[in-house]
Copies of this chain bind each other. A is one copy, B any other.
Amino acid sequence: MKWLEDARRGVPPSRARWRIVLHEVIFEADTSAGKGFDVLLIASILASVVVVMLDSIGAVRSHYSSLLYGIEWFFTIIFTAEYLLRLTCVGRPFKYAVSFYGIVDLLAIIPTYLSLFLPGSQYLLVIRILRILRIFRILKLVAYLGEARLLMKALRMSGRKIAVFLYTVLTLVVIFGSLMYVIEGGANGFTSIPRSIYWAIVTLTTVGYGDISPQTILGQTLASMVMILGYAIIAVPTGIVTVEMSQAFNRKVSTQACPECSAEGHDVDARHCKFCGAAL
């Protein structure tokens, strides 16, 4: 277990030849073997998620129960082997194990083993769908990764404002929910404050199931206020995200003026003035 010790100490192990080849096949997608492995992997993941979904449909389960059970274990054992291989051939197994993909890979096999003790937990296997996120990296969909990063950046930049907004929404639903509990009471479905808060969320977000709805005039008046409020304040997160995105996406315009004609408004990557052609 020398390599494990090395990894723990952060020292890259002197890697054996077979581990380098394995790494190339499993982690990279430049060779044809690597590409084949990745396509096979994605197909397996999709197939296993479909099996979990089919297993949850009563009519299917009653007929093919043991078949689906077998397939489920088949995929789980495959993915377990793959997880162990990844741990073996990667340079720093600990770093991989605690990375996003490492955790998802682990979570994607645990539920089957867990279902031996906790029946029903095998349905959590759909978390395997997250493994598909790898598809962007594998298929060299770099442009999409760039877009995703831009979106994440804009959302992170608006994080604090969104937090303030969410805090306000939570305060509002607690207060409106409690008011409705006092006004409507249990007879009209508002049986407790938590349930009334649930109603307030359903209403403020304009979902409106209709499983609980106010019956008294006063309750309907208050509900109308909650609806109009929810209808109007959706403008707040929208505004926040739009402004941040606008800043995150926008083409940068240089502040540099042309030394010849003093024209401004050049792009940051411009090397010549777009009006007189002088070098910037």
Name A residues whose Cβ lies closer than 8 Å to a Cβ of B: 49, 52-53, 56-58, 120-121, 123-124, 126-127, 129-130, 132-133, 143-144, 147-148, 150-151, 154-155, 160-166, 169, 171, 174-175, 177-179, 181-182, 186, 191-198, 201-211, 213, 217, 220-221, 223-224, 227-228, 230-232, 234-247, 249-251, 262, 264-267, 269-279
Give the one of A130, A143, A147, A217 with max B CB within 10 A.
A147
Closest 4 CB pairs of A and B: A272-B277, A207-B208, A209-B210, A270-B274
Give the one of A126, A165, A169 with max B CB within 10 A.
A126
A243 to B245, CA, bound (A): 7
A56 to B190, CA, bound (A): 10
Q: Are B124 and A178 in contact (CB under 8 A)?
A: yes
A72 to chain B, nearest CB (A): 13
A144 to B163, CA, bound (A): 8
Of B155, B175, B217, which contacts A127 at CB under 8 A? B175
Q: Are A270 and B275 in contact (CB under 8 A)?
A: yes
Nearest B residue to A154, CB-CB = B239
Known: A57-B192, A193-B126. A232 touches B182 (CB 8 A): no
A161 to B154, CA, bound (A): 12
A278 to B73, CA, bound (A): 66
What number of copies of this chain does the assembly contain?
Answer: 4
Q: Are B240 and A130 in contact (CB under 8 A)?
A: no
Give the residues in chain B near A277, CB-CB below 8 Å: 271-273, 277-279
Known: A123-B182, A272-B276, A274-B271. A166 touches B243 (CB 8 A): no
Give the residues in chain B near A228, CB-CB below 8 Å: 166, 169, 201, 205
Known: A175-B130, A217-B194, A232-B162. A123 touches B181 (CB 8 A): yes
Give the residues in chain B near A266, CB-CB below 8 Å: 274
Q: Are A209 and B206 in contact (CB under 8 A)?
A: no
A42 to chain B, nearest CB (A): 14
Q: Are B242 and A227 in contact (CB under 8 A)?
A: no
A224 to B194, CA, bound (A): 11
Known: A238-B239, A243-B249. A52 touches B151 (CB 8 A): no
